[in-house]
Amino acid sequence: MFAKQKRHLVLVNTITFLVLFSILGVVLFQYTKSEIYREVDKNLLSMAKVVQKSSKNNKLTFQKLEPNNGVLVWSEDGELLESTSHNNYYRDIADKIKYKTLDNIEESRYDSFYFRSMAIKIDTDNSTVIVQLIRNTNSQKEFLETLNSILVVGGVLIFVISVVVAFYLASKALVPIVKAWEKQQQFVSDASHELRTPLTIIQSKLELLLKSPEKKVKEVGESIAISLSETRRLSKLVNNLLTLAKSDSNAIELDKKVFCLSKKLDEICEPYIEIAEFAEKTFIKDLEQDVYINADEDRIAQLMIILLDNALKYTSEGDIIKLSLKKKNNKIFIEVKDNGLGISKENLPYIFDRFYRGDKVRGREGGHGLGLSIAEWIVKKHGGNIQVSSEEREETKAQIVFSKN
């Protein structure tokens, strides 16, 4: 499925690496070439200054030349007057490397030899001459050709390495995408399954009612009650799915304001205390007073309802549920603890996954495995942290930490 995307990423990464290497190679080559010829040009300019200085003393002389340096002296008419070098080589090829402009560095070539030269006009007592200062640059040219060969070979190696690295990077880049895709596919599959069950029940009950139109409401009350129950369950599931979908797209904005968290939790606890008493369970609240928080009050209420619902759902007669609220330094700690069924070590790492339900809920009604996913989102959206620890059939504890500000 992702083969096309992988090939595209490999191609893009490879081209990127090659372009970067090419730019680096060109910059390195041009910089090296500039530095090498800068020394040659510097030598020519130095020679020109010496010649010009000697002409002011009415004595035209030339500095002692290196083996690869030479001087050609021309008349204004272009006739070769003198050649100064360690051999007659420059005289023999003078016409082939003759200057074209004055006071400029020029490049010339004869056969397999390369030269850089500079021609200057010198006025003497008797006449005006053109002095052409020459330096052989074969060694520099050979070095640049070697460097160019190294860069070409390096380019081939870089191409091979780029393909390998690009393939590796493409594979790594696709990992989270593949995981996200698989997670989405699983989400859609689970959602479809969860939606199918109540819809099937509602459809079957309505078809049953349609087959017996003569029956009174009292006679079909059970079917109507089941349909309504499944409708409410379906509505809750859809709302939860919409909440998670909006959370993924960051479409939900929190309506934050400062409120008394102690008072809010106390209000939320009231119905749960009554339910616990009716179910012969013990509900304990330990709420520190005057704890204020800057948060979305409705979302915090939704968070606590999810946690308290789970605590009541997965405890039995005689079990204890405890809600505590404390503040310490700049942190607010909320803890929901019960000594009910607990969560196995195998299931604990996955409790925040959507539609995940462990062994302890498989035989129980209600629940779609979305509550803790929503709870985690609410906590993280407020910049907090939620942790759940549990020992199977001993204790389950959900602890939430919020920043006071």
Of 33-42, 147-156, 196-205, 380-389, the poorest mean pLDDT is in: 196-205
Tell me, yes or no, whether 224 and 269 share the same domain: no
pLDDT of residue 367: 60
Alpha-carbon distance 50 to 61, whole Å? Answer: 8
Whole-number pLDDT of residue 58: 57
Question: How distant, in Å, are the alpha carbons of 130, 273, 312, 395 from that of 280?
Answer: 117, 10, 11, 18
Total count of domains within the chain? 3
Q: Is 261 in the same domain as 396?
A: yes
Within a domain: residue 169?
Answer: no
Pick the closest to residue 71 from 137, 126, 119 (CA basis). Answer: 119
In a domain, 202, yes or no: yes
- The reply to whether 199 and 261 lie within a common domain is no
Residue 346 resides in a domain:
yes
Cβ density class 188-219: b for 16+ within 10 Å, e for less:
eebbeebeeebeebbeebeeeeeeeeeeeeee
Residue type, 163: V
Angle (deg, nearest 10), helices 138-211 and 3-56: 160
Q: What CATH number does residue 231 fall under?
A: 1.10.287.130
Asked if 198 and 291 sit in the same domain, the reply is: no
Is 125 within the bounds of a domain? yes
Q: Is 298 helix (H, G, I), strand (E, B) or coil?
A: helix
Q: What's the pLDDT tens digit per position in 66-99?
A: 555 788 888 888 888 887 765 577 888 888 888 8
pLDDT of residue 61: 58
399 pLDDT tier (thresholds 50, 70, 90): very high
Check whether residue 208 and residue 264 sit in a common domain: no
List beta partners, residue 121.
130
Question: 């079990």: which residue's tokens?
Answer: 319
In a domain, 131, yes or no: yes
Residue 9: domain span: 3-143
Per-residue pLDDT reduced to its tens digit, 291-346: 999 999 989 998 998 899 889 988 989 999 999 999 998 899 999 999 988 888 88
Report the 10 Å Cβ neighbour count for 261: 25
List the structure tokens of 287: 């709420």
Last residue of a domain, one of 143, 169, 195: 143
Q: Are residues 300 and 383 in the same domain?
A: yes
Distance CA 389, CA 344 (A): 10
